[in-house]
């Protein structure tokens, strides 16, 4: 079989392998055959053997033994062989290898080959994998002005872009040509010029300064494209050469940034493009979008900026979800700098919370949070809470913390604030940060007129559902602290819960203590709350005493320790019990025991008791007794 298998047959054989191991075996055999073919003298089959190797390489198998073959093929006079050789070079050779230098000479020759297709191959390969050294060597061979075939000029310009990326100093070499090419008519050449100039300006601030002078020329070019009639060779969905328009707009953006003169010169044009471009198809939307980005990035007039933001707002209503997504992304970037303009579209943005696309939802959430203000907090929070009840699980944590931050900054009243937090805990209590619990407790203590309201609300929540730990913890704490208000049976702000006796409350707390759903921390809260009730309701503490003594032999060490200490409070230190368990003072947010989310304070369970209780007056006791009391006065 002199040619070796055809590539079609080889591919079929490889695909016939049923396991990974079998495939490896087949590939090894095929590669051995290919290697053997390479070793033979010129037999006219080299190109298709290399093509086979490239297939193998794509699947992820080693193919470096083909590198020298690429070098040989590139040097061949035949177009076929050159083409496969160059393709192989792009896949198998990279700038780190010495073999790539060997093709430099071939590329050099091919850059001035008589056939434009061969020149094109050389340019393409150089642009793809040319190393810095190769670029330095070959840059003088690229003469942008001398190429007659216009498509080649564009390719050469792109090759020049690659060279400038690899060796920035080469920028000087290409700058004059780039400037001259701008006056050509051929769109391909203009493309090349614009892309090259963009690259040169991004690399070198002096060059950028120089090219600011061409802004008027670019403006005219853009005008020509926008206002031109239908031209079949450049038309895409009614827009004349949208890719070129997008590239010109990008260049204008770079030139107008931070420069008043340049920005002024393009103001009218941008307004014209913004108003005249038909965005019913994607091509038009792409141009419009690029215009918006440019307007927002340069020093444009405020009227123009508002126009741009309005375009983004319109995009939000577009049927195409891709357009909705990118407009959200842009709105997010400008919400800080152009806050008022974006606020005008708040309604549409909030509607996007209901979008089917998860990425759009995420963007809408971030934007909505950024748009919260004292003026819109009530209505916006309603939407956010609604969103929370049905939002995708991966967004819940972010939503809850966003809601808390917004509530903290703009709460119109304490009751609203507490209600909002409770709503969040009920809906998504499992997705809130640890410090939510102490933060909420702190908030509750400050809202003194609302203690009755809060404890009734929390009690109602507790008897409904004890699965959400954060909610249960806060509820237990409140019941322990304000249980007397609960049993009083009256409440101004809300329908009071029917609580007949202390026993109902203790039932609720015991349910928490015994439930397998309760975390150790939660049980700690429940136990302490039970204990505190012994001073809130002074008749019939027997049940409390018995609960506490049972937990004295609990397997959980923390719970056991507390129970033992509480037991001691009932027995030996009964005279101090009332003082120890009395109502907590209002917790100051900046007090050392209070955490704001920093790890210094740790989780609720580890709040350093000694620091906080130092604020509570204690009679001076001998050292061993003092430590007992301090331990008993954990925050929970």
Helix (H, G, I), strand (E, B) or coil at 279: coil
**Among positions 71, 129, 455, 531, the unique one binding other proteins when judged by CB under 8 A:** 129
The sign of the CA dihedral 594, 597, 602, 604 is positive
In the complex, what is the shortest distance from the CB of residue 169 to other proteins, in angstroms, rounded to a whole number?
19
Residue 104 lies near other proteins (rule: CB under 8 A): no
CA distance 82 to 87: 8
Tell me the window of 24-32, 350-358, 512-520, 539-547 that interacts with other proteins (CB under 8 A).
Answer: 350-358
State the Cα–Cα distance between residues 227 and 249, nearest whole angstrom: 15
| Residue 605: Cβ within 10 Å count | 17
Please give the size of the binding site for other proteins, defined by CB under 8 A: 67
Listed residue (80, 25, 77, 21) closest to 49, CA to CA: 80
242 vs 496, beta carbon nearer other proteins: 242
504 binds other proteins (CB under 8 A): no
292: CB partners within 8 A, 6+ apart: 274, 308, 311, 312, 330
CA atoms of 406 and 413, how far apart (whole Å): 13
356 binds other proteins (CB under 8 A): yes
For the bound state, the minimum distance from the C-beta of residue 50 to other proteins, rounded and expressed in Å, comes to: 9
Tell me if 360 contacts other proteins by CB under 8 A. yes
Which residue lies nearer to other proteins by CB, 315 or 387? 315
Among 113, 150, 223, 250, indicate the residue that binds other proteins (CB under 8 A): 250
Encoded tokens for 356: 């089917």
Alpha helices, H only, 429-519:
436-446, 451-464, 469-488, 502-514
Report residue 23 as tokens. 């495939």
Least Å from the CB of residue 477 to other proteins: 41
27 touches 59 (CB < 8 A):
yes
Helix H or strand E encompassing 197: helix 187-203
- Under rule CB under 8 A, residue 159 binds other proteins: yes
- CB of residue 160 to other proteins, shortest distance in Å: 10
The residues in 37-56 that bind other proteins, with binding defined as CB under 8 A, are 44, 51, 54-55
- Provide the mask over 175-214, with x wherever binding to other proteins is found by CB under 8 A and - wherever it is not: -------------x------x-------------------
Rounded Cα–Cα distance for residues 108 and 105 (Å): 5
Rounded Cα gap, residues 384 and 423, in angstroms = 11
Q: How far apart are CA 453 and CA 8, in angstroms?
A: 79
Does 8 contact other proteins by CB under 8 A?
yes
Whether residue 316 contacts residue 332, with contact meaning beta carbons closer than 8 Å, is answered with no
3-state secondary structure of 635: coil
State which of residues 27, 34, 103, 158 lies at the interface with other proteins (CB under 8 A). Answer: 158
Structure tokens at 508: 């609720």
Q: Contacting other proteins (CB under 8 A), which of 74, 323, 425, 526?
A: 323
Confirm or reject binding of residue 16 to other proteins (CB under 8 A): no
- In angstroms, what is the minimal distance from the CB of 359 to other proteins? 6
When asked if residue 318 is in the footprint of other proteins (CB under 8 A), the reply is no
Is 248 a binder of other proteins (CB under 8 A)? no
Residue 280 interacting with other proteins (CB under 8 A): no
SS (HEC) of 361-410 = HHHHHHHHHHHCCCCCHHHHHHHHHHHHHHCCHHHHHHHHHHHHHHHHHH
Choosing from 71, 123, 218, 521, the residue that interacts with other proteins (CB under 8 A) is: 123
Stretch that binds other proteins, among 127-135, 206-214, 414-422, 528-536 (CB under 8 A): 127-135
Of the residues 184, 338, 351, 357, which one makes contact with other proteins according to CB under 8 A: 357
Q: Segment near other proteins (CB under 8 A), from 213-221, 238-246, 527-535, 574-582?
A: 238-246
Q: How far is the CB of 155 from other proteins (least distance, A)?
A: 6
Q: Secondary structure of 40-101 in the HEC alphabet?
A: CCCCCCHHHHHHHHHHHHHCCCCCHHHHHHHHHHHCCCCHHHHHHHHHHHHHHCCCCCCHHH
CB closer to other proteins out of 247 and 457: 247
Assess 233 for contact with other proteins (CB under 8 A): yes
Task: Tell which one of 36, 58, 68, 501 touches other proteins (CB under 8 A).
Answer: 58
The values of phi and psi at residue 342, to 5°, are -70, -35
Residues 6+ apart with CB under 8 A from 109: none
Identity of the residue, 87 or 531, whose beta carbon is nearer to other proteins in the bound complex: 87
Strand partners, 236: 239
By beta-carbon proximity to other proteins, the closer residue of 245 and 613 is: 245
Q: Which residues contact 329 (CB under 8 A, 6 or more apart)?
A: 363
How far is residue 427's CA from residue 216's CA, in Å, rounded to a whole number?
58
Q: Which stretch binds other proteins (CB under 8 A): 88-96, 383-391, 464-472, 523-531?
A: 88-96
- Nearer of residues 64 and 382 to other proteins, judged by Cβ: 64
Contact between 325 and other proteins per CB under 8 A: yes
Structure tokens at 434: 């640890």
Question: Is 391 a binder of other proteins (CB under 8 A)?
Answer: no
**Beta carbon nearer to other proteins, 171 or 496:** 171
Which listed residue (27, 84, 248, 508) binds other proteins by CB under 8 A?
84
Assess 324 for contact with other proteins (CB under 8 A): yes
Distance between CA atoms of 454 and 448, rounded to whole angstroms? 10
Which residue, 364 or 527, is less far from other proteins as judged by CB? 364
The answer to the question of residue 124 lying near other proteins (CB under 8 A) is yes
Judged by CB under 8 A, which stretch of 92-100, 484-492, 601-609, 628-636 contacts other proteins?
92-100
d(CA 347, CA 357): 18
Q: Which is nearer to other proteins, 358 or 501 (CB)?
A: 358
**Residues 6+ away with beta carbon under 8 Å from 118:** 79, 82, 110
Give whichever of 249 and 497 is closer to other proteins, judged by the CB atom: 249
Least Cβ distance, residue 54 to other proteins (angstroms): 7
Q: Tokens in use for 382?
A: 């309603």
Q: How far is the CB of 282 from other proteins (least distance, A)?
A: 6
Which residues lie near other proteins (CB under 8 A)? 1-3, 6-9, 11-12, 15, 44, 51, 54-55, 58-60, 62, 78-80, 83-84, 87, 94-96, 115, 117, 123-124, 127-129, 151, 154-155, 158-159, 161-162, 188, 195, 233-234, 236, 242-243, 246, 250, 282-283, 285-286, 289-290, 321-326, 356-360
């Amino acid at each position: 079989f002199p040619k070796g298998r055809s590539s079609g047959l080889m591919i079929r054989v490889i695909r016939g392998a049923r396991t990974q191991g079998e495939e490896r075996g087949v590939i090894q055999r095929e590669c051995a055959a290919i290697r053997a073919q390479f070793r033979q003298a010129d037999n006219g089959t080299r190109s298709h053997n290399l093509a086979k190797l490239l297939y193998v390489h794509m699947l992820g198998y080693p193919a470096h033994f083909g590198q020298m073959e690429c070098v040989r093929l590139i040097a061949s006079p035949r177009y076929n062989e050159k083409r496969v050789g160059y393709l192989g070079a792009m896949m198998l050779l990279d700038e780190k290898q010495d073999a790539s230098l060997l093709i430099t000479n071939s590329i050099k020759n091919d850059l001035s080959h008589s056939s434009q297709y061969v020149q094109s191959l050389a340019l393409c390969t150089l642009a793809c994998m040319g190393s810095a050294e190769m670029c330095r060597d070959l840059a003088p061979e690229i003469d942008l002005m001398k190429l007659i075939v216009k498509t080649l000029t564009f390719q050469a310009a792109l090759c020049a872009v690659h060279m400038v990326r690899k060796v920035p100093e080469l920028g000087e070499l290409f700058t004059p040509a780039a400037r001259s090419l701008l006056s050509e008519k051929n769109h391909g050449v203009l493309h090349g010029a614009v892309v090259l100039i963009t690259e040169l300006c991004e690399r070198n601030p002096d060059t950028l300064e120089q090219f600011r002078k061409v802004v008027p020329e670019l403006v005219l070019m853009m005008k020509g494209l926008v206002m031109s009639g239908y031209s079949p060779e450049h038309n895409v969905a009614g827009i004349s050469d949208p890719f070129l328009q997008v590239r010109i707009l990008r260049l204008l953006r770079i030139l107008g940034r931070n420069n008043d003169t340049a920005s002024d010169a393009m103001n009218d044009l941008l307004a014209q493009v913004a108003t005249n471009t038909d965005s019913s198809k994607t091509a038009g939307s792409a141009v419009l979008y690029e215009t918006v980005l440019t307007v927002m990035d340069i020093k444009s007039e405020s009227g123009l900026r508002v126009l741009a933001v309005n375009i983004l707002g319109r995009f939000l209503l577009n049927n195409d979800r891709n357009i909705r997504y990118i407009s959200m992304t842009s709105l997010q970037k400008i919400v800080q700098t152009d806050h008022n303009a974006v606020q005008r579209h708040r309604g549409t943005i909030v509607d996007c919370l209901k979008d089917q696309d998860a990425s759009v939802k995420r963007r809408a959430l971030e934007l909505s949070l950024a748009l919260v203000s004292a003026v819109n907090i009530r209505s916006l929070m309603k939407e956010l809470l609604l969103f929370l009840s049905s939002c995708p699980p991966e967004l819940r944590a972010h939503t809850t913390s966003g809601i808390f931050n917004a509530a903290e900054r703009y709460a119109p009243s304490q009751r609203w604030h507490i209600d909002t937090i409770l709503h969040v805990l009920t809906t998504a209590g499992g997705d809130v940060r640890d410090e939510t619990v102490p933060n909420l407790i702190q908030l509750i203590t400050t809202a003194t007129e609302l203690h009755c309201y809060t404890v009734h609300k929390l009690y109602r929540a507790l008897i409904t559902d004890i699965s959400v730990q954060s909610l249960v913890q806060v509820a237990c704490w409140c019941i322990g602290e304000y249980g007397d208000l609960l049993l009083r049976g009256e409440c101004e702000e809300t329908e009071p819960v029917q609580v007949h006796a202390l026993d109902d409350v203790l039932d609720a707390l015991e349910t928490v203590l015994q439930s397998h759903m309760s975390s150790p921390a939660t049980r700690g809260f429940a136990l302490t709350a039970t204990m505190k009730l012994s001073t809130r309701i002074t008749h019939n503490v027997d049940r409390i005493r018995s609960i506490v003594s049972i937990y004295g032999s609990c397997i959980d060490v923390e719970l056991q320790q507390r129970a033992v200490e509480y037991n001691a409070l009932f027995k030996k230190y009964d005279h101090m019990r009332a003082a120890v368990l009395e109502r907590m003072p209002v917790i100051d947010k900046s007090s050392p025991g209070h955490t704001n989310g920093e790890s210094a304070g740790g989780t609720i369970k580890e709040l350093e008791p000694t620091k906080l209780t130092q604020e509570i007056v204690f009679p001076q006791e001998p050292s061993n007794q003092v430590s007992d009391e301090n331990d008993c006065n954990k925050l929970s």
